[in-house]
Structure 1
Amino acid sequence: MIKKLQSFFPFFFLVFFSGTAQSTKQKSYIAEKQSSYNITVKNNLPSIILSSAEKRWVGDKDDKSILGNRINYADSFEKVFDIEAYSISPNNKKHKVSYIGTEDREIGNIFVHDMKFRYYTFPNIEEGSQTYSLYKKEYQKPQFLESYYFKDYLDCKSSRVILKVSKDIEIGYIIQGNTSNENIEFTKEINGDFTIYSWQMVNIEKEEKESSSPNFSYYSPHLIFYIKNYKNNSGTQNVVGTIDNLYRFYAQTIKDINKQDQTQVKEKTAELITGLTKDFDKAKVIFDYVQSKINYVAFEDGMGGYIPREAASVLQKKYGDCKDMANLLNEMLRYAGIESNIAWIGTRHNNYTYKNVPSPIVDNHMITVARINNQDLFLDATGQYSLFPNVTPFIQGKEALTKIDDLKYKITTVPVIPSDQNKTNGKLKIEFNSNSLIGQANFNLNGFLKTQFISTYKASTDKNEMLKGYFARFIQNIQTSNVDIKNDDLSQIPLEIRYQFELDKWIKKTDNQLLFKPILFFPYSDARINVEKRKTPLENDFKKSYNFEYEFVIPQGYTIDFLPENFNFTNAFFTASITYKKVNNTIIINQEMTMDTLLIEKNNFETWNIAIKNITKQYNQNIILIKK
């Protein structure tokens, strides 16, 4: 259920800039962009009209990002009109856009949707040209308003949003994102029957998406506004703006679902739980069935992007999106006699809470919440290989708005899965063979690490190549054989990987010494953050931990000349230790690491790097064996 509440970058123009093309190409930039909303009551309903305008200055005419424009809209809820676009050359010649097309947006794996865009290309673009884009948009559903992001994909001289609100309408608003180093000028004034709100930023650097960044909602400054209520001939009408109003809207959208005959749903449920007596076991087989047998196919067409389809229909067709799967799962759990309800939730893609943003913008997903043994289980069947009763990684720490009845709801927070439940345990027995190490390895993957491996492994058409790449993540020149995988299923039993390996040229050999690095696996060795260049936070999918035990058989005729000192490190993000000891004719090494954070803000980059530096230094420690 991906809401059609896109961020967008509106347009306006400043005073006319004149100039000539430069001998060296300069960066293009937005001279000014502005979105002006006129919010009134017409025909007893809210009327929201956006007037959007933008002016760009063209530096590099070969930069494809400035050659044209796209106006995104949801066809079921929004109407775009009065589009005007033209360019002005450096010698003041005006060139109007002659063709404006309409296309369906390509949105990931969404099968059916109503998202479209209008597009055009500016004619006769030269270096030093200016482009002007203007349009209007009418919002036909007052609950579904967009966010305004002040920053853009180009540097921007001025970015402004204006709300002109009738006295018959009460709005709410909030600035989200990281504004600690930003200056947003806000004004509010009364003009007759209207209140005019204005926010403006000037001289703004472009916003960039970096690898492993969270969504823009975490750090890019943006305005969210919503209509709380309006007055018409029947009195005051609530829209959203409070959690109660938001829930009432949600409850209204689903009040007519599951009216079809559900005999097949009941029968399938009874079949699945035959012989089971515990609610936990019943819930698991039902969850596993919906997760594995119902294919995820996204539908975002009109209110179909918000209203679950009939449970009976989803079961029969064997496909549906998140809300369809949540609805079917919920109905089957109820037929099994388990307390269960559907819930709206925003994934980690949305950095909002219901208190701060009581609007549909807060949510983009739907799950099922079952109550078993006095505990809430947050069940998301879209994960495909999620291990019951685990949550999916992308809803960790998020609030769920759970339906109780048409008037009652509750808000609960999905737990963040601790690192010790997402653990890799590895045991390696290793011997020396000339300049190589040979051995046997046994690895157990738990929690999200098991799910992650299975997802990749099952989807791979060449499983040998997939495994080769998996092992090479740690040591590139390792040679593996006799790989055996067990428990690649939906149980909580750890996935087991056994294999034999050879690691060539790992030993430095002299006449009477053997020198080698005993640590063979280097979690986070490449995770140092470039503090000077990186501008955005760093996001991890989930917390995780590692525990490797190495058993090196000391070659006959050798004894230990040097063992590194034991190592321990702890800070806000990592805990790590490496211990060394001799046991009879073996060297036993225990390597442990815990990564315990989901988000690293810019002011914590150095703390993160300090941990990486200290830990990876230990990866390069050597053991020296000497001939007796």
Structure 2
Amino acid sequence: MQISVKCLYLSVLLCVGHHVTYAEEDKNIVIRERKERYEFVKGDNRNPVLVKQNFSTTYRCDEFRGSIPYTEFYDVNSTVGEVKVYVNGERVKSIKPEHRYHSIDGFFFSDARVCGFMLPLEKKGTESRVELEKTILDPRYFTSVYFNEDFFMEGKEVTLIVPRWMHLEIKELNFDGAGIIKNVTFDEKNQADVYTYTMKNMPAAAHESYAPGPSYVYPHLLVCSHSADGNEGKITYFGSVKDLYAWYSSLVKEIGNEKELVKAKALDITKDAKDNLAKIKAVYTWMQENIRYIAFEDGIAGFRPAKAQEVLEKKYGDCKGMANLTKEMLVALGIDARLCWIGTRHIAYDYSTPTLSVDNHMICAVILDGKQYFLDATETYIGFDQYAERIQGRQVLIENGEQFSLSNIPKRTYDQNKQIEKRTLRIEGNNLVGVAGHQITGESTESILSAAHSIKKENMKEALQQYLTEDNRLYGISNLTTSDLHDWSTDLTMNYDVLHKDAVNSFGDDIYVDLEFRKEFDDSDIDTTKRKNDFWLNYKRQVVQETTLAIPAGFKVKSLPPALSIDNTKYTFKAAYVQKADQIVYRKEITIKDTHIRRIEFSKWNDDIKQLKQAYLEQITLTKK
């Protein structure tokens, strides 16, 4: 799951350049030249400081003709001005940008808008250029300038013009080895510092799954606007985390929640709860089950949470709206609940840097009997006091009236996310027959229930059956029983009968049996020839599978596969077969202790995965006595 809505300011608002969708490793299109100019200027009483932006990008076609979609995101805090398109040096006025609201699944629930059009590149060797003007109406929203683009770039120049009346800090991050040249001059006429950054032959940004967020990887400027000397006096932006919280708090005060409506629903949800802890769990579970989480992975949205009653009525919301409704229902029940701002692990910063780029998510904190709990209802199937990998250990900003506090989400080990499967099988002809049981916790529960819910079946048990069989028509499941599928604060348990057809092969006096069915992580090789970034696994976990096979009468063990034992600081892969009297016990254990696999560790990871896959191919051999 996903990043939340406020959520968008990081990936798109913060990367203030253009956005082009392209094929991975596209060698046909290059950026010959890109120029970006950012200038702080004084505005009017409503918007006393503006950030004027001018972009000029020249694309070249090196192999064959084509076209690329060019888009620019903006919202109520920014405007897109004139857009000029040149093809082969001639301005093409017939190419007119389309302006539309950004939506997901047909929901237009934010102020995000897109300006876009198709840019033609007519033949090999030709160039097309786009010039675009954009204005950010409040310097709070101008937070980052990233240097990499979506195509290989032969040359780029970034210029920031900062008048002395504008007080800010520019942090240069991930510059090592990027070849960026910085030059600072002073414009005496305009009393402005001019920062110019130039670079050549910069590779395209790698769009890779399971990768660290761009703030960890790519060279960029983090712009922290502290204050400005305006026409009417000093204007304070974000000089400290206190200023950041004060601004967030001011937005919360403007929400306009209808408390009585929310209280009525909260009382109904908790009518059977005997104490405050039970009430908290009831509200949290109801939010997870009944409010659909909708958020943009990349885009722009506002920072003010939606009204609690609106989220309640619509049955969907972004992280801010869901956090607000959760808090309001708990407060209505007399429970100390507070809004929280947090940056997921996607973000490299913490609150030592006062900027809107420090967080991208909102949750709710509860203080009960002196203990602090965090509720993130966007995590649909995770239990109370369990925390997703993406927020574990992250610094969190907690509201407290005019004050605030800083804390950290508790860290969890792989023990939170266990997936234990035990099977007892016997051989009947060419089939394996028996029973199986599962015990699943934490993010493993969320992963399984999310996958099952994505399967279009009339009821959940049918979906779970399809999930458990992994679409293998030879692996039959019947008589499935489960724990309460609406209560994921307790372990998820599933028990059923197994009929695995054609799992046994006979040749002469020998029988060959494969007891490995699920083969977790067998497709987890990392392509080191293409992969550019570190690899982040979804979450820490432990997968244990234990299968007991009865040795059929008249047979004995001829050979058992060799044991596998790989114990790394970040993961463990183990598999072993042991004969116990007239049974064979196969036990497999996969433990992910650290989700961050660095590039220098790829070779070792691939070697270990290779050994794991080889272990999966091994079979038991039985022979007649």
Query: Alpha-carbon deviation of 1:143?
Result: 0.8
Instruction: Say yes or no: does 1:497 pair with 2:497.
Output: no
**Per-residue Cα deviation, 1:220-270 (whole angstroms, up to 9, x for no partner):** 33222131111134543321142222112111222233464x223333334
| 1:339-418 map, 5 Å | 339-355=336-352, 357-406=353-402, 408-418=403-413
Query: Alpha-carbon deviation of 1:401?
Result: 1.1
| SS of match in other structure, 2:108 | strand
Query: Alpha-carbon deviation of 1:365?
Result: 2.0
* RMSD of Structure 2 on Structure 1 (CA): 3.0
In the aligned structure 2, how far is the partner of 1:416 from the partner of 1:97?
A: 56
In the aligned structure 2, how far is the partner of 1:513 from the partner of 1:124?
A: 66
For residue 277 of structure 2, what is the aligned residue in structure 1? Answer: 280
Query: Alpha-carbon deviation of 1:318?
Result: 4.4
For residue 245 of structure 1, what is the aligned residue in structure 2? Answer: 243
Per mean C-alpha deviation after superposition, the further-off stretch among 571-580 and 263-272 is 263-272
**Per-residue Cα deviation, 1:248-297 (whole angstroms, up to 9, x for no partner):** 2111222233464x223333334444464433212111222233333445
- 1:257 partner letter: I
Q: Which has the higher contact order (CA 8 A, sep 6+)?
A: 2
| SS of match in other structure, 2:162 | strand
Instruction: Say yes or no: does 1:168 pair with 2:165.
Output: yes
For residue 19 of structure 1, what is the aligned residue in structure 2? Answer: none
| 1:22-61 map, 5 Å | 27-43=28-44, 45-61=48-64
Query: Alpha-carbon deviation of 1:403?
Result: 0.7
Per mean C-alpha deviation after superposition, the further-off stretch among 45-54 and 236-245 is 236-245
**For the Cα contact (< 8 Å) 2:382–2:488, is it kept in 1?**
no
| 1:540-579 map, 5 Å | 540-579=537-576
Paired residues in the alignment total: 603
**Per-residue Cα deviation, 1:537-565 (whole angstroms, up to 9, x for no partner):** 22222111111111110010112232345
1:433 to 424, 428, 433: 428
- 1:290 partner letter: M
Structure 2 unmatched runs, 5+: 19-25
Per mean C-alpha deviation after superposition, the further-off stretch among 527-536 and 309-318 is 309-318
In the aligned structure 1, how far is the partner of 2:300 from the partner of 2:556?
A: 74
Instruction: Say yes or no: does 1:199 pair with 2:202.
Output: no
**For the Cα contact (< 8 Å) 1:557–1:627, is it kept in 2?**
yes
**For the Cα contact (< 8 Å) 1:10–1:34, is it kept in 2?**
no
For residue 615 of structure 2, what is the aligned residue in structure 1? Answer: 618
| SS of match in other structure, 2:381 | coil
**Per-residue Cα deviation, 1:575-624 (whole angstroms, up to 9, x for no partner):** 23334333231112222221122332222212322332333333233333
| SS of match in other structure, 2:553 | coil
In the aligned structure 1, how far is the partner of 2:270 from the partner of 2:593?
A: 38
For residue 143 of structure 1, what is the aligned residue in structure 2? Answer: 140
| SS of match in other structure, 1:328 | helix
- 2:622 partner letter: L
In the aligned structure 2, how far is the partner of 1:410 from the partner of 1:78?
A: 31
| SS of match in other structure, 1:287 | helix
For residue 73 of structure 1, what is the aligned residue in structure 2? Answer: 74
1:2 to 2, 6, 13: 6
In the aligned structure 2, how far is the partner of 1:160 from the partner of 1:28?
A: 19
| SS of match in other structure, 2:265 | helix
In the aligned structure 2, how far is the partner of 1:43 from the partner of 1:470?
A: 59
- 2:455 partner letter: S
CA, structure 1 residues 304+544, in 2 after alignment: closer, same or farther (shift >3 Å)?
Answer: closer
In the aligned structure 1, how far is the partner of 2:248 from the partner of 2:260?
A: 27
For residue 222 of structure 2, what is the aligned residue in structure 1? Answer: 224
Query: Alpha-carbon deviation of 1:523?
Result: 1.5
1:213 to 197, 200, 211: 211
- 1:616 partner letter: K
**For the Cα contact (< 8 Å) 1:326–1:366, is it kept in 2?**
yes
CA, structure 1 residues 47+298, in 2 after alignment: closer, same or farther (shift >3 Å)?
Answer: same
- Using structure 1 for the length normalisation, give the TM-score: 0.88
In the aligned structure 2, how far is the partner of 1:33 from the partner of 1:307?
A: 34
- 1:116 partner letter: R
Residue identity over aligned pairs, in percent, reads 25
**For the Cα contact (< 8 Å) 2:66–2:122, is it kept in 1?**
no
CA, structure 1 residues 130+346, in 2 after alignment: closer, same or farther (shift >3 Å)?
Answer: same
- 2:218 partner letter: S
Query: Alpha-carbon deviation of 1:41?
Result: 3.4
- Using structure 2 for the length normalisation, give the TM-score: 0.88
For residue 21 of structure 2, what is the aligned residue in structure 1? Answer: none
Instruction: Say yes or no: does 1:326 pair with 2:323.
Output: yes
- 2:52 partner letter: I
For residue 180 of structure 2, what is the aligned residue in structure 1? Answer: 184
In the aligned structure 2, how far is the partner of 1:354 from the partner of 1:325?
A: 23
| SS of match in other structure, 2:524 | coil
- 1:527 partner letter: S
**For the Cα contact (< 8 Å) 2:388–2:539, is it kept in 1?**
no
**For the Cα contact (< 8 Å) 1:548–1:592, is it kept in 2?**
yes
For residue 440 of structure 2, what is the aligned residue in structure 1? Answer: 445
1:257 to 255, 258, 268: 255
| SS of match in other structure, 2:321 | helix
| SS of match in other structure, 2:435 | strand
**For the Cα contact (< 8 Å) 2:61–2:126, is it kept in 1?**
yes
Query: Alpha-carbon deviation of 1:402?
Result: 0.9
